């Protein structure tokens, strides 16, 4: 269904949205979307760091005690 929308169709949709909501409303909406994306990325990075820290705490040295002193 959406495969048949070309450039004229997209421009028409953009004009209709602009007329309905106005430039200020769309601008503030896009700003909120940007803030949401930034917060999501920060959350993903924090979660990844937390998982890495947990994994490093769980990891233990499995080297036999007789081999630890060898260089």
CA distance 30 to 24: 10
CA distance 50 to 65: 30
What DSSP string describes 23-38? HHHHHHHHHHHHHHHH
Q: What pLDDT digit, counting tens, does each position of 53-70 carry?
A: 887 777 666 666 666 666
Q: What pLDDT digit, counting tens, does each position of 20-42 carry?
A: 888 888 888 889 999 999 999 99
**Global pTM exceeds 0.85:** no
Residue 67 φ/ψ, nearest 5 degrees: -95, -10
Where do the domains of the chain lie? 22-51
């Amino acid at each position: 269904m959406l495969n048949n929308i070309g450039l004229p169709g997209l421009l028409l949709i953009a004009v209709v949205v602009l007329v309905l909501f106005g430039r200020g409303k769309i601008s503030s909406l896009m700003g909120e979307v940007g803030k949401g994306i930034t917060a999501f990325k920060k959350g993903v990075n924090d979660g990844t760091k937390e998982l890495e820290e947990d994994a490093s705490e769980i990891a233990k040295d499995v080297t036999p005690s007789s081999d630890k002193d060898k260089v």
